[in-house]
Chain A
């Protein structure tokens, strides 16, 4: 008969179980991602029709400033054009790089 100390798993096995659990979660996320991608394909077809039919040039992610709403058709100077000495003050400006021409 084994004593309790002999019955405890060696650390490598405990670690392997933990790693296996984490990879199982990642596997579930992967499977869910594949099913989401199928839904995404339907949405993408709609987005393509909208872009073609309305001649859209930009993503509608941030609507606070003209140059972050439509960076593709804005000049790099646009954030500083509102008045002399204007500084770029919109939070979304921190996320976007000025478009290169």
Chain B
């Protein structure tokens, strides 16, 4: 019996495939549009998931508490003396001052992120040189030396030189010598970074000697981050206190379907499905009615015709799903999401090499199926039933 049923389903599948082949232009068009929609949704899902994963993995090591000062809603420098005020809070293990700002290069129209700090004071500071592609971090006493990101070096186009200059706010030139370079592989963090000593950063931005822009605070017991953050807020009401869990949480929510681009992807998919469903539900063509009538005259039952329609939908949506997801993976991994880069990086002059490697879990594939294949199958149920219940004589006699 089982053998008979399998043979019967294979024969029906044969018929469904032949039927799709007979209408190959239409079938191929539907397949391609369907695959393109799945490609769009899957690419977005893979890019955002890969970026969220990467952020989740590396931001475990971000400072436990970051302090910045806000004035009139904007960030500004604050006295280094705040560091002494933090020393009195029980549980604070270490406070590292930092100058952190942006430098706009008017020649190349590029934004650089400048960080000035004594990296020897930071956790992992002694291993920092091993993370560079070449050279080493400037020591505290080494003025005018800087480590730059891969894209900055490419943008500066120094040829064989290792020196360049940046403008101070008063338009005087500050010379720098490159002491090291971040690896191209770490572009996702260091693409636009310029790391120098605290004194050099102050000199570049004309920040007074007793001021900094950030304090990185490390606590003795990570379970007390929130409590200590609250105590810091009470002691220094003018500062903004950002905790590690808050920063990590940002990257779990910052990419999503509710963003402008995500909504466009989703709406495009929805529009495509409405058109497909409308096409399916809008009625049978005379050829289809005639075909069904002939099948019924030949002895096919309603459920056999339903099975043909079901297999047709499964073949089209299944193939579209495999093609769409495979193409999306190739697009994201081998072409660094090239189609999304204009939106993902916009007018950025420095563009990182994105080495994205999405991990496709069963949940992600189910999400894509839920948005695409399942609505398609659902949309074909009613038309399939209507087609299967066409009286034979109405089509042939008509």
Query: Residues of A at under 8 Å CB distance from B?
Result: 10-12, 14-15, 19, 22-23, 25-26, 29, 33, 36-37, 40, 43-44, 46-57, 59-66, 68-73, 75, 77, 81, 90-97, 99-101
CA distance A44 to B51 in the complex (A): 13
Q: Which of B82-90, B221-229, B323-331 contacts A (4 or more CB under 8 A)?
A: B323-331
Q: Which of A55, A64, A68, A90 has the most CB of B within 10 A?
A: A55
Which residues of chain A come closer than 8 Å to B17, judged between CB atoms? 11-12, 14-15
Q: Main SS of the interface on chain A? A: helix
Contacts of A15 in B (CB 8 A): 13, 17, 315
Chain B residues in 8 Å Cβ range of A57:
59, 62-63, 66, 242, 247
Nearest A-chain residue to B126, judged by Cβ: A53
How many residue pairs between the two chains, A and B, have CB atoms under 8 Å in the bound complex?
A: 221
For residue A12, give the distance in angstroms from its CB to the closest CB of chain B. Answer: 5
With both beta carbons as reference points, the residue of chain A lying nearest to B354 in the complex is identified as A61
Per the bound structure, the CA–CA distance linking A99 and B259 in Å amounts to 11
Question: Residues of B contacting A40 with CB < 8 Å?
Answer: 355, 357
Tally of B interface residues using CB under 8 Å: 91
9 extra interface residue pairs, beta carbon distance < 8 Å, beyond A44-B57, A96-B259, A100-B253 = A26-B322, A48-B58, A53-B119, A59-B51, A60-B352, A71-B250, A75-B73, A92-B346, A95-B344
User: Given A47-B58, A53-B125, A63-B113, A97–B259 Cβ distance below 8 Å?
Assistant: yes
A68 cross-chain contacts in B, Cβ below 8 A = 346
Q: Measured between alpha carbons, how far is A63 from B66 in the docked complex, in Å?
A: 21
Which residues of B from 104 to 136 have beta carbons under 8 Å from A? 110-111, 113, 115, 117, 119, 122-125, 127-128, 130-131
Which residues of chain B are near A64, meaning CB under 8 Å?
111, 345-349
B251 touches A53 (CB 8 A): no
Question: Does B190 belong to the interface (CB within 8 Å)?
Answer: yes
A93 to B183, CA, bound (A): 27
Is B110's CB under 8 angstroms from A60's CB?
Answer: no
Name B residues whose Cβ lies closer than 8 Å to a Cβ of A.
10, 13-14, 17-18, 21, 51, 54-55, 57-63, 66, 68, 73-74, 96, 98, 102, 110-111, 113, 115, 117, 119, 122-125, 127-128, 130-131, 149, 182-183, 185-193, 195, 214, 216, 242, 246-247, 249-251, 253-256, 258-262, 264, 315, 319, 322-323, 326, 329-330, 333, 340, 342-352, 354-355, 357
CB-based contact B186/A43 at 8 Å: yes
Question: Are A90 and B192 within 8 A (Cβ)?
Answer: no
A40–B358 CA distance with the chains assembled, in angstroms: 11
Contact of B185 among A19, A43, A62 (CB under 8 A): A43
Closest beta carbon of chain A to B137's beta carbon, Å: 8
Q: Is the CB of A52 within 8 A of B350?
A: no
When A91-B347, A99-B250 are in contact, do A69 and B130 touch as well, CB less than 8 Å? no
User: Is there an interface contact between A95 and B255, defined as CB atoms closer than 8 Å?
Assistant: yes
Distance between B243 CB and nearest chain A CB, rounded to angstroms: 11
Q: A46-B183, A54-B195 are in contact. Are A63 and B111 (CB under 8 A)?
A: yes
Q: B111–A69 contact, CB under 8 A?
A: yes
Question: Could you say which of B58, B214, B247 has the most chain A C-beta atoms within 10 Å of its C-beta?
Answer: B58
- A43-B185, A59-B54 known; A73 and B110 CB under 8 Å? no
Asked whether, in the complex, the Cβ of B357 is within 8 Å of the Cβ of A37, the reply is yes
Which residues of B sit under 8 angstroms from A91, Cβ to Cβ? Answer: 342-343, 346-347
Residues of A near B191 (CB, < 8 A) are: 60, 63
Q: Which residues of chain B come closer than 8 Å to A33, judged between CB atoms?
A: 333, 357
Q: Which residues of chain B are near A61, meaning CB under 8 Å?
A: 51, 188, 344-345, 352, 354
A95/B259 in contact, CB under 8 A: yes
Contact present for B188 and A59 (CB under 8 Å):
yes
Within 8 Å CB of B73, what residues of A? Answer: 75, 77, 81
Q: From known contacts A60-B188, A97-B254, infer whether A25 and B326 are also in contact, taking CB-CB under 8 Å.
A: yes
CB of B312, distance to nearest CB on chain A (Å):
12
Q: In the complex, A63 Cα to B216 Cα: how many Å?
A: 23
